[in-house]
Chains A and B, each alone.
Chain A
Amino acid sequence: MVKFPSDEWIHVFKDELNRNANYEKTAKDWEGDFLFVILPDEELKNEFKYYVDLWHGKCREAYRVEGHKNTAFTFSGSYSNWKKVIKNDLDPIKGFIRGLFKIQGDSIKILRYVKASKELINTASRIPTEF
């Protein structure tokens, strides 16, 4: 079991994603790095940030970030909502539509890659995660 959020979790995620052929296919034209922001709530005390560099269906880099980091996109939501997404209980696009997650950057570009974003979540949900 890998704890979420943790340094280890994002490394496992990177390896899993690079093994996901469906992700590679659906994101083959994608260029852009993300900052995934896990906002504190009743269950999480401090903010947690992951840097994830996605490039043509592969994850080039993924690590925890402390402090400021410029990225093309930011996807942020509360810990409890991230938990739902990783458990595959909440589609991240639906989460965005309902205002549970916020996107900074060219949101329309992300919305063109709905299938790829689903594969990102499928990958995350396959990681045996401990919350």
Chain B
Amino acid sequence: MDSSIEIAEKATHCGMCRIDFLETGLCPAGEKKGFAAYWPDGRMELLLALTRNELQPTEKLVDIVKSCDTCGRCDKQCHFITNLRPSKVQEALKNFVEALDEEDFVKVKEDNILKDLREIVGLNWATNDPAIIRSYSRSIIPQGSSNSFYIVMPKTSEQIVKIAEIAKKNNLPLRPRGAGTFLVLALHTLLAKPVSIKRGIIIDFGRMKKIEINPEDCTATLEPGVTAFELQKAAYARNMRACVAEPAASVCANIASFGIISTWMNAYGWGSDLFVDAEYVNEEGTLAQLSDFDIFNPYAALHGPESLTLNPTKIVTKMTVKLFPKTENEEAILIPYSNLSEALAFAHELARKQLGLSVAVISRKYLSDFIAPTNSIAKDFNYVAEKYLKMNYLVDIVGDADHIELIKKKAGVIIEEGMAKRLILGVSKFAAMKDSEFLKILSEEPDPLKLVFEGPLREHLEKMLGETTKDVASAFDEDMQKFFEKVYSKPEMTDVIWLHSFRILPSRMIRQKLFMVRGGFMQGEDETILEVNNILRDVGEKYGLENALGFISFLENGKLAFLEYDYYFDHNDKKALDRLNKAIGESLIGELMIKNVLPVEYVFHKGLNRKEHLFHPLPKGISKEDIPRFQEFMQKLLSLDA
């Protein structure tokens, strides 16, 4: 039981068990029954609640436990991303429930509200069962909340309108849940209170998964349960690409909440650049379209330090998003740098000249976390890259082959697709050299990166890294190594362009730990970008948080930039959470004081806005005298329930 509780505690609910990225098929129980409790992540929350005496067993719990046929798909999916084994949690949950006496179970009564909800969506798709409610813990409901919720899984927009009517009639807050991937991060922080509800109706979009590709106008119309992975797969089948975020995230929710933050924003844009139209349920509970002639200007956005929107004002029920044609000959390259300003200057120049589609400066930590199959290999590779290779940043580019040719002429050292593939397969061998005398000698050379990737050492490095899938697979649990050998032998798992489009590997950022996104949008001036980076780094260091630049990309030919900086934290460490919260507050003020910077908090739930309304004009920056007033505002905001 102890190890299963540890697994449940370490779980980060990345949602990757809900997309078929390994082609194992999905959890049969989850697919059939829908509610979070039937998926691996929900079961983890149930085990925690039961063992902490926070949940009284209900009859539904027996159905939840029995629904798992122990097929082991979740183990494969979860292990690839987080190295955890959810099946152990299921086993512990089953043992726990089977050991209960009949009188331990409570019957859950159907009240009038539930009756009304069931009339709309059907008997099986609305519930007030505490076991199901509790399974939404951490992905929309804060841990330790009451059970005063209804969870509903509608099938159509019209059903959502009716649910909204019931919420209004009964004065209940109504909250949509996409995949919950952002809330998993936010609910551990000081944002937990304002972004969550204490009671109300939660809409789970898990049954609304229709995608219609419209090839003639290069768009896709999708329902709110469609994930980024599912949309990308459908787009790829038609030789097109969608601009999406994390693979398990709901596309509609992601556009509405964050506008899609991606390295592809360099070519494809952000927010309203990415969609044609959206259907939504407004605050009055009626169905509307953004393209309707007579609606209030949907793009209007408030400005100023108090213009935070921490909750959605619309429930997006359908969206027509833009797809982008793939060019015939796309290529990917990485250009390594030891210092940020040089990497930034190079990437920025590409953005200005419109060279490349996905263009970003990424950090050493991103590369290490993404390609390494375990945290310890990631840590060792990160060390090797920093100490010996002095590879701290990489300009990461996917573009048309003609553009890549031009870029190569301007670049110093280049890591081409073939070498990137070898790095993915051989990262554990590289990481194992962390105490190597040879690398110490190499690090004394003036340009180790050039020697390794382009000089006489290149052929030896290629030979060392190899192209077999055995090494990388051997990092996983023994009983799954054969399976992962097969996974890595699929071309797409080492295809750098495919990986950029589907974003499978970035999910490893939350391998048994979480991170809080910092940064934001800013004027495309290198000095400003570096200043933001430095402030975020200094605050992270001050509070003893593992911190690193995530990536920097651009909009509008480099006129605007986006910088993501991440504070990593152990969500089970209360002291770390305290430090994180202080760092969030301090870094926010730090960013607000810089001219022409819009911290990421100010685009929350503004993805439907036209970006020109949000980013023009950029803030002038607050003064020292403004800080007490802003702090007072924040105190009030953070203490308010949504």
Contact = CB atoms under 8 A, between A and B. Distances in A.
Interface of A: 91, 93-94, 96-99, 102-103, 107-108, 111-112, 114-115
What are the 3 tightest A-B residue pairs by CB atom distance, in nearest-first order?
A: A99-B456, A114-B437, A111-B438
B108 interface: no
19 contacts: A91-B441, A93-B438, A93-B441, A94-B444, A97-B441, A97-B442, A97-B455, A97-B456, A99-B455, A99-B456, A103-B460, A107-B460, A107-B463, A108-B463, A112-B438, A114-B436, A114-B437, A114-B441, A115-B437
A114 B433 CA distance: 12
A102 B438 CA distance: 15
Interface in B445-463: 445, 451, 455-457, 460, 463
Interface of B: 436-438, 441-442, 444-445, 451, 455-457, 460, 463-464
A114 B438 contact: yes
Given A93-B441, A114-B436, 20 more contacts: A94-B441, A94-B444, A94-B445, A96-B456, A97-B441, A97-B445, A97-B451, A98-B451, A98-B455, A98-B456, A99-B455, A99-B456, A103-B460, A107-B460, A108-B460, A108-B463, A108-B464, A111-B438, A111-B460, A115-B437
A111 B436 contact: yes
B117 to A, nearest CB: 64
A88 B441 CA distance: 15
Nearest to B464: A108
Contact of B445 (A98, A102, A115): A98
B167 to A, nearest CB: 64
B385 to A, nearest CB: 17
A102 B456 CA distance: 8
Contacts, number: 38
A97 B419 CA distance: 19
Contact of A112 (B436, B441, B445): B436
A9 to B, nearest CB: 26
Interface of B, secondary structure class, is helix
A98 B441 CA distance: 11
A112 B464 CA distance: 12
Contact of A97 (B436, B437, B457, B464): B457
B339 to A, nearest CB: 22
Contacts of A91: 441
B439 to A, nearest CB: 9
Contacts of A115: 437
A5 to B, nearest CB: 24
| From A96, A103, A111, A115, residue with most partner B Cβ within 10 Å | A111
A96 B436 CA distance: 16
Contacts of A94: 441, 444-445
Nearest to A100: B456
Nearest to B437: A114
B32 to A, nearest CB: 50
Nearest to A116: B437
B461 to A, nearest CB: 9
| From B438, B451, B464, residue with most partner A Cβ within 10 Å | B438
Contacts of A112: 436, 438
A96 B455 CA distance: 11
A99 B441 CA distance: 14
Nearest to A91: B441
A115 B436 CA distance: 10
A118 to B, nearest CB: 8
A61 B151 CA distance: 80
Contacts of B456: 96-99, 102
Nearest to A102: B456
A96 B304 CA distance: 59
Contacts of B460: 103, 107-108, 111
A99 B456 CA distance: 5
Nearest to B455: A99
A107 to B, nearest CB: 4
Contacts of B441: 91, 93-94, 97, 114
A111 B441 CA distance: 10
Contacts of A93: 438, 441
A108 B457 CA distance: 10
A107 B463 CA distance: 9
A109 to B, nearest CB: 10
Contacts of A108: 460, 463-464
A106 B437 CA distance: 17
A76 to B, nearest CB: 13
A107 B433 CA distance: 14
Contacts of B442: 97
Nearest to B465: A108
A91 B437 CA distance: 13
B433 to A, nearest CB: 8
B429 to A, nearest CB: 8
Contacts of A97: 441-442, 445, 451, 455-457
Nearest to B438: A111
A66 to B, nearest CB: 28
| From B444, B455, B456, residue with most partner A Cβ within 10 Å | B456
A97 B455 CA distance: 8
A8 B445 CA distance: 35
Nearest to B460: A107
A124 to B, nearest CB: 18
A21 B306 CA distance: 73
A91 B438 CA distance: 11
B437 to A, nearest CB: 4
B479 to A, nearest CB: 29
A111 B451 CA distance: 15
Nearest to B442: A97
| From B436, B460, B463, residue with most partner A Cβ within 10 Å | B460
Contacts of A99: 455-456
| From A91, A108, A112, residue with most partner B Cβ within 10 Å | A108
B464 to A, nearest CB: 5
Nearest to B441: A93
A112 B434 CA distance: 11
Nearest to A106: B463
A83 B415 CA distance: 35
Contacts of A111: 436, 438, 460
B448 to A, nearest CB: 8
